[in-house]
Amino acid sequence: MARADGHLTAVVDSADKGQDECGVFGVWAPGEEVAKLSYFGLYALQHRGTQSAGIAASTGEQILVFRDMGLVSQVFDENDLETLPGHMAIGHTRYSTTGAHAWENAQPTLGPTGYGSVALCHNGNLTNFDELQSLADERLDKHREVVAAHKQKPRRTRAHRDSSSDTSLITELLASSDADNLTDAALGLLPQIKGAFSLVFMDENTLYAARDRHGVRPLALGKIDRGWVVASETAALDIVGASFVREIQPGELIAIDEDGLRSHRFAQEQAARCVFEYVYLARPDSVINGKTVHSSRVEMGRRLAREHPVDADLVIATPDSGTPAAVGYAEESGIPFGQGLMKNAYVGRTFIQPSQTIRQLGIRLKLNPVKENIEGKRLVVVDDSIVRGNTQRALIRMLREAGAKEIHVRISAPPVKWPCFFGIDFATRAELIANGLDTQEICRSLGADSLGYISLDGMIEATTQNSSELCTACFSGDYRIPIPPQADLTDAELSGTSGTKDS
């Protein structure tokens, strides 16, 4: 196991978008280099979490875990991957809220069971953390009584819950079950977990994947010659050469080992897939519930052009996530699409502490204007969402300094006004620019000449999904998934009202 105490430093305001969450990956493939397959799978999921990464591999006899803070490429080198032999592996990339950057919260987690061990990776956010924690405490107390009565060495202590995260708690609950095997332990526990979870976990011999009854976060199943792969997004199947088989269904647990693939249903499906995956979170080349994310975003741009037309000379995108919608806007409006901003990829994630001079550069560290495309032009600037507005305000100022004549901002999602309790970290509700300001006021606050958001119906229709099967709560306030019992929607923090959001 690796451990480091380096501090991640975000040198630009990366929290000005809804922050996803985590990426999970699993592979069962005897004869393959499973740690390397996991490494490349995690590389494709890097956008889902850049603060820590980890892989656990099983030889059939034992599970080894390697995890650390940083990007996948910073955490692992060839030698590290060589230390993870086996026929099966799971992996994780993590995003966490400020203050929860600790190594202890990096995944996969590992816990001892009565029949071996369990390693687990999680994407989502539980909404009944306190209830589950009480259950874990009850089990621990019972375990202590039993070992004391029999004068045995305890198999479990509170130290096994080595962090306050959702993931660690699920691992402990699986490990502390009285069931004889992990399948039964999971089938007993999963119906009791509320909120959003896409899980990939394993014991020494069997790989498991499970998705909450709402299917909030994506989870896909793929096939390679010698086995099976599961991943948060289909793009991670593509990168390891796996062919897409199907999604893990909401409320489904699958188990994969030498006896093949078995499917178990632990809850009735009540679909409420996160619409924000289509808007911003997922990779454009991924497919969710039969729809390519890229084509949804292009269609959002087309609809945005119809809903909010404007006379302009050039459509530009806030790279990269605004690009497909900008292309759609340009196609529909007939206004040419051009490159107005160059992105300095991954500059925002570094172990190097920036100097005060560098820090003051702010958005210029991340985006640089292409002056000759901007000077004297009336611009349509297309972005996927506005959360706090700080990035857009700085961007508009930069574009004006570069000589833009007019700036018309178009957003391919409706205003974000409500908390997400299901794994997306926006900021605090009070920080949301759309919480209290109307569109005109936001436009003035940003310093734009005009501002237009796509309608809720327009965004939903662009995904071609059944609206009754989507979660749109952060835009609409319509919570189809039960929220934590103690949540206060009037001034709630936008995540983590129940335990430590860790994925």
| Residue placing its CB nearer to ligand SF4 in the complex, 72 or 427 | 427
The closest of 66, 61, 68, 60 to 28, measured between CA atoms, is 60
- Asked if 424 is part of the footprint of ligand SF4 (rule: CB under 6 A), the reply reads yes
- Asked if 136 is part of the footprint of ligand SF4 (rule: CB under 6 A), the reply reads no
| Residue placing its CB nearer to ligand SF4 in the complex, 215 or 322 | 215
| Residue placing its CB nearer to ligand SF4 in the complex, 199 or 471 | 471
| Residue placing its CB nearer to ligand SF4 in the complex, 19 or 176 | 19
- Asked if 274 is part of the footprint of ligand SF4 (rule: CB under 6 A), the reply reads yes
Collapsed DSSP state (helix, strand, coil) of residue 487: coil
| Residue placing its CB nearer to ligand SF4 in the complex, 44 or 420 | 420
The closest of 127, 135, 51, 39 to 90, measured between CA atoms, is 39
Cα dihedral 191, 97, 105, 497 sign: negative
Residue at 428: amino acid letter: T
- State both tokens at 16: 């000005």
Minimum gap (Å) between residue 78 Cβ and ligand SF4: 37
- Asked if 492 is part of the footprint of ligand SF4 (rule: CB under 6 A), the reply reads no
- Asked if 494 is part of the footprint of ligand SF4 (rule: CB under 6 A), the reply reads no
Q: Rounded to whole angstroms, how far apart are CA atoms 156 and 134?
A: 16
- Asked if 387 is part of the footprint of ligand SF4 (rule: CB under 6 A), the reply reads no
The residue from 22, 121, 420, 474 that is catalytic is: 22
- State both tokens at 132: 């589950």
Known active-site residue 121: no
Q: Are strands 378-383 and 349-350 parallel, antiparallel or unpaired?
A: unpaired
- Asked if 282 is part of the footprint of ligand SF4 (rule: CB under 6 A), the reply reads no
DSSP per-residue codes, 204-244 = SS-EEEEE-TT--S--EEEEETTEEEEESSHHHHHHTTPEE
| Residue placing its CB nearer to ligand SF4 in the complex, 345 or 489 | 489
From 93-101, 165-173, 269-277, 382-390, give the range in contact with ligand SF4 by CB under 6 A. 269-277
- Asked if 216 is part of the footprint of ligand SF4 (rule: CB under 6 A), the reply reads yes
DSSP per-residue codes, 341-384 = EEE-TTTTEESSPPPHHHHTTGGGGTEEE-HHHHTT-EEEEEES
Minimum gap (Å) between residue 282 Cβ and ligand SF4: 11
- Asked if 463 is part of the footprint of ligand SF4 (rule: CB under 6 A), the reply reads no
The DSSP secondary-structure symbol of 164 reads: S
Minimum gap (Å) between residue 433 Cβ and ligand SF4: 16
Minimum gap (Å) between residue 294 Cβ and ligand SF4: 19
Q: Are strands 273-274 and 252-257 parallel, antiparallel or unpaired?
A: unpaired
Q: Is the peptide bond before 108 cis (omega within 30 degrees of 0)?
A: yes
Q: Rounded to whole angstroms, how far apart are CA atoms 311 and 176?
A: 64
- Asked if 422 is part of the footprint of ligand SF4 (rule: CB under 6 A), the reply reads yes
From 140-148, 363-371, 417-425, 430-438, give the range in contact with ligand SF4 by CB under 6 A. 417-425
- Asked if 420 is part of the footprint of ligand SF4 (rule: CB under 6 A), the reply reads yes
Q: What are phi and psi of 80, to 5 degrees?
A: -60, -45
**Do 322 and 392 form a contact (C-beta atoms < 8 A)?**
no
Query: Taking CB under 6 A as the criterion, which residues in 470-489 touch ligand SF4?
Result: 471-474
| Residue placing its CB nearer to ligand SF4 in the complex, 89 or 248 | 248
Q: How many residues sit in the footprint of ligand SF4 (CB under 6 A)?
A: 12
Give the catalytic positions in this structure: 22
The residues that touch ligand SF4, with contacts defined as CB under 6 A, are 18, 216, 274-276, 420, 422, 424, 471-474
